[in-house]
Amino acid sequence: MLVGIKTDALPISRSRRMIQTAILSICNAGILTVLMIAPSASQVMPDSTAIKLPSDAEIHKMIANRVDVIGGLEDGIGIVVGIVGPEGRRVISYGHVNQGDPRLLDGDTGFEIASATKVFTALLLADMVEKGEVTLVVPVAKYLPAGVKLPDRKGRSITLLDLATHTSGLPFMPALNDSLAVKDPSLLYHFLAGYKLSRDIGATWDYSNIGYWLLGEALAHRSGMDFETLLTTRVIVPLRLTGTAITPSPKMKANLAVGHDAALRPAPYFPSLPVYSLMPAAGGLVSTTNDLLTFLSAVMGYERSPFARAMAAMLSARRPKPHLGEEQALGWIVIREGDDQLIFHDGGSLGFASSVAWDPQRRLGVVVLSNQSTGVNDIARHLLRPDFPLEQPTAAKRTEIVLDSTALRVCAGRYEALGEGIFKIVFEGDSLTFQAPTDWGLPKLRLRPESRLDFFAAELPLRVTFQTDGDGRVNAILVHPPRGQRAKLAKRVSPDR
């Protein structure tokens, strides 16, 4: 989840679809899960049987270069890469648990995986379908408490399949006043009761954290237990994932890396943020590289698993995504070129990034985890498909300057971007704050000046550049979202009041 920033995750078609599996894909706990940008499937996918994985030394150099560009070992950040395939497992790491902590990251270090949690939620769904407890294509309302009202459209109701494939028509996050402070799940139900769908159900892919929240609520109500207990007893324990949980045990907490935001400051624990704490199904898991390799081993058939049929069923139900050659399965996203497939899910939170990817033809899987919010999905893709280029990261450390109140006040106002909504820039105290449209799933952020017109947020890799007309008056902003999405131009529609 950023479970959510919307980063999911996420392969994302529009800049507001942050993190997808984005705060994730702020994700989906982690929820910002959330979400990540995936290279387009229109790139040529090479003959996967001819690909040779890099050596441990080459991978170590790759991730060391990334960490050193972003900040460096002294900042307490790092990356762990895990690989599982016909030749067994290997784990390569670089970096530390936290600044000033001599412990090195390793395969047992815990990370928030944000929107990558959605794959586990989808597995729970598939297993309950296999056992005859739920049905994919009946209205989800059947599995919710009596009296819950959900939106419908043209006589069609939302189903579990619609929720699991992001085709329900529900938005990324709930559009509530101060939604990121919501602690009461009844408010989310209230939002859904009044929401009007703008797209036909089942027709269009649009990444939705609130959709996975509702999916988790339905499965939990059907089972008669809360979602955390359900996922733990039905999925995590049977898979013997001892380092994976929604609520980490004391032992897990001792091995948990400290997440770092876009300015390399320690980030808050994502599930502690009010609205995201309500959405564990969308991005609430903490896990380790070794546990995720165990999970991939079961998915690819290297280990016996009670979920073999359910794991296969997750890939049998698919709906198209906007990107050419991409499909949304249950939880997983599939890039397809002929018979060649690459299957993955990404996640991103305020302080962590994750990617879980595998090649079914070569039976080769990759896990990449970082305790810094810059996405790592490109590393996972590149290891499995060398033609996917590595991104060119930028340094996370930025220099904040001091501007007087007059220079700041002239920037305040409401700015509208076509297809996105209103961005609010407010002068508060002695600084500017940035509020994105609600369905971006971002908290209010303080903007810090690098120059008179260039500002950045410390919590996320987000930048705002103010533009001026011929008379020097601010008339627009260029918003550079997290995860490298295309910048969005928003024109000033009114000054701040």
The per-residue pLDDT for range 228-260, each reduced to its tens digit, is 999 999 999 999 999 999 999 999 999 999 999
Measured distance CA(83)–CA(89) in Å, rounded:
6
pTM: predicted TM-score of the whole model, two decimal places: 0.85
What pLDDT was estimated at residue 308? 96
The per-residue pLDDT for range 311-328, each reduced to its tens digit, is 999 999 999 998 778 999
Average pLDDT of 91-119?
A: 96
Under the banding of pLDDT at 50, 70 and 90, the label for residue 177 is: low
Exposed, middle or buried by CB within 10 Å (0-12, 13-18, 19+), for 392? exposed
What pLDDT was estimated at residue 44? 39
Which of 269-273, 463-467, 493-497 shows the lowest per-residue confidence on average (mean pLDDT)?
Answer: 493-497
Average pLDDT of 92-109?
A: 95
Is the predicted pLDDT of residue 132 greater than 70, yes or no?
Answer: yes
Length of the chain: 497
How many distinct helices (H) and strands (E) make up the chain? Answer: 13, 18
H/E segment holding residue 298: helix 289-299
CA atoms within 13 A on the CB side of 97: 15
Q: Where are any strands of DSSP class E within 324-407?
A: 326-328, 333-337, 340-348, 353-359, 364-370
CA atoms within 13 A on the CB side of 284: 25
Measured distance CA(55)–CA(51) in Å, rounded:
13
Average pLDDT of 293-305?
A: 96
Is the predicted pLDDT of residue 329 greater than 90, yes or no?
Answer: yes
Average pLDDT, the chain: 87
What pLDDT was estimated at residue 484? 56
Look at residues 29, 20, 72, 446 and name the one whose alpha carbon lies nearest to residue 271.
Answer: 29
Under the banding of pLDDT at 50, 70 and 90, the label for residue 184 is: confident
Task: Reduce the DSSP state of residue 25 to 3 states and report it.
Answer: coil
Measured distance CA(221)–CA(224) in Å, rounded:
5
- Cα-to-chain-centroid distance, residue 51: 28
List b or e across 10-39, with b for residues whose CB sees 16 or more CB atoms inside 10 angstroms: bbbbbbbbbbbbbbbbbbbbbbbbbbbbbb
What pLDDT was estimated at residue 37? 30
What pLDDT was estimated at residue 442? 78
Average pLDDT of 408-426?
A: 94
What pLDDT was estimated at residue 143? 98
Is the predicted pLDDT of residue 10 greater than 70, yes or no?
Answer: no
Is the predicted pLDDT of residue 52 greater than 90, yes or no?
Answer: no
What pLDDT was estimated at residue 17? 36
